[in-house]
Amino acid sequence: MVLTPTRPVPRTWFFADMRGVRVLGLAAGGGQRMPLFAAMGAECTVLDYSERQLASERLVAAREGYEITCVRADMTRPLPFADASFDLIFHPVANCYVEEVLPIWRECARVLRPGGRLLAGLDNGFNYVVDDDEERIVRGLPFNPLRDPDLISEEELPDWGVQFSHTLDEQIRGQIQAGLRLLDLYEDTNGGESRLHRFGIPTFWATLAEKPSES
């Protein structure tokens, strides 16, 4: 199972016994990760804004014969779940489509039970500074088309959507500011035929954070 393009999530990031663990796939629709959690015995909920992604999730669940709760919602707004609803949140790279990420971390902390875990895949922003061939530095950071509409053309929008770069402060320090405790992290590359990958230049982070247990 991956949070970022190539490196698998360490097994130790999950609970030793996943049976009955309440898992939220946050912006994780598409039927790629929840089948694995279901096979571990977890109780699966997936939240995604894309109805197409949720339809794929339902299709896979029906085909493989496991139950899943699918929720269409915007993760930039308060999550439609009660406090302490989940034991584990699995959040693959998706914050690049969100301008402000700290509210998301606060909501993750709210819906996790004490001792619950957040596994997150994060874009470190480097992909936004290079050209399409990854040969030249062509722009600075931050990458924010809402502030500079020239950063993305109308023709590119259907394929790329509106994306935003985020700093380590926002992505990792933001989790700490939301009250989570950072336990582990690693870097990853674009993988595939990417020139940055061939040069070993990291473009993604993955983090494991925990909501502290109540004293």
By percentage, how much of the chain surpasses pLDDT 70?
100
Task: Report the pLDDT value the prediction gives residue 61, as an integer from 0 to 100.
Answer: 96
Query: Could you report the per-residue pLDDT of 28-61, keeping only the tens digit for each?
Result: 999 999 999 999 999 999 999 999 999 999 999 9
CA atoms within a 13 Å half-sphere pointing along the CA-CB vector of 38: 20
Distances (CA, A) of 142 to 124, 125, 131, 177: 11, 8, 15, 21
Query: Could you report the per-residue pLDDT of 82-124, keeping only the tens digit for each?
Result: 999 999 999 999 999 999 999 999 999 999 999 999 999 999 9
Distances (CA, A) of 183 to 14, 66, 196, 207: 12, 31, 27, 8
DSSP label at residue 213: P
pTM: 0.96
* 161 confidence band (pLDDT: 50, 70, 90): confident
CA distance 123 to 134: 16
Whether residue 215 has pLDDT greater than 70: no
